[in-house]
A and B are shown apart, each in its own frame.
Chain A
């Protein structure tokens, strides 16, 4: 399909990218284009300028920063993330999940930053990044700021990214030896999109010391404070985790549509939450 006419620019540095976004109010960031191109075809967006950040080297790296955080550049492609030795060693659940996003063609183009900034309710990364207590580094005309992933997702397709701002990197705190991560999705088909997701970060050493449980596929990723509180202090047995998971579903707000009712999605979100915590306590870090 013929796309609407727009101007295209390909900056090589972050400074150039931010300057372009500041200079053109109706500009859009283009990276892998796996969603934006469809939005253009459907005339859902009509930007005057596309700023292609896919070759900005500063957005393409994966490294460990001076605070020991795993720093993932926003323009890192799914395939690169899934294969990266640092990610596989420090966040194997993240690497494994990434290796199963949609299909090989999408994994060859789609970017972490694109997935996060789109904030589609079914996006893979947002619930996991909230569970992992990730910090997002954002660069804009006023400079650089860091903001927690928790609180970044305001509504479907709406984030706390301001006008002219660009997501620069996702920063993941290191996992302690007694911390485990779980990520479970009820998918429509193999490697497909999901009806319900849950991500969990659990610290356990005989008993559960702390837990962050996040549901995905509602309007935004949401923490589950009642379930988290019910887990802390308990032994990580299947029974205790199942009982706590009955409390999941707070502020979940899933849609009812042709695929499933909201009630079904909520029931399945509880199952995913139970499985994610169970996986996390099995040291599946």
Chain B
């Protein structure tokens, strides 16, 4: 990475276990890099202003909003997107299975972000209480479900106490 200002930079990122070397425009958002450059359209663009969390991915173990980060800033980082949760032909990730069981989605637009936030939450706090699940998902907005079933699904996967 150059100390010299430039409008294009070469970056190396690992996404769902695959390493990519790619030249990116400095102004390209990480979410556009994932969706348009790599073709990983599971990550959604919702509000495009850091409020809704639909674009949440995991970067070096932390949930981040990919519309609020430049692709060039992800240089050298390891990224997990919703596509990395499970193989399309294999069994679903426990979170995906729980979302299905609890009907934790209706339109599904927020779901990729919800899943990635929940995954980061459970890695940080494996057995969260209901309140910790709610607080942990605060950065993700759902307009359909009223959150009740989402919280149930995540809480069940964690297996933590109610309070």
- Interface residues of chain A, those whose CB is within 8 Å of chain B, are 1-12, 16, 20, 24, 30, 33-34, 37-38, 41, 49-50, 52, 54, 79, 102-106, 108-109, 190-191
Contact = CB atoms under 8 A, between A and B. Distances in A.
B3 A109 contact: no
Interface stretch (B46-54, B97-105, B152-160): B46-54
A106 B3 contact: no
Interface residues of B, number: 37
Contact of A41 (B48, B65, B136): B48
A4 B7 CA distance: 11
Given A9-B3, A12-B3, A106 B49 contact: no
A103 B69 CA distance: 16
B151 interface: no
Interface string B30-65: 000000000000000000111001001001001111
A1 B68 CA distance: 11
A197 to B, nearest CB: 19
B12 to A, nearest CB: 14
Contact of A191 (B49, B73, B135): B135
Contacts of A54: 73
Contacts of A106: 50, 65, 139
B143 interface: no
Contact of B27 (A3, A12, A34, A102): A3
A34 B50 contact: yes
Contacts of A3: 27-29
B138 A191 contact: yes
Interface of B: 1-7, 9, 25-29, 48-50, 53, 56, 59, 62-65, 67-70, 72-73, 75, 117, 120-121, 135-136, 138-139
B3 A38 contact: no
A2 B45 CA distance: 13
Given A50-B26, A104-B117, A9 B4 contact: yes
B27 A2 contact: yes
A38 B47 CA distance: 11
Given A30-B73, A103-B138, A105-B65, 6 more contacts: A1-B29, A8-B5, A16-B3, A33-B68, A52-B72, A105-B63
Nearest to B45: A1
A228 B80 CA distance: 51
A33 B1 CA distance: 18
Contacts of A9: 2-6
Nearest to A103: B139
Contact of B68 (A4, A37, A50): A37
Given A52-B73, A191-B135, A8 B50 contact: no
B35 to A, nearest CB: 13
Contacts of B73: 30, 33, 52, 54
A274 to B, nearest CB: 27
Given A9-B4, A104-B120, A38 B27 contact: no
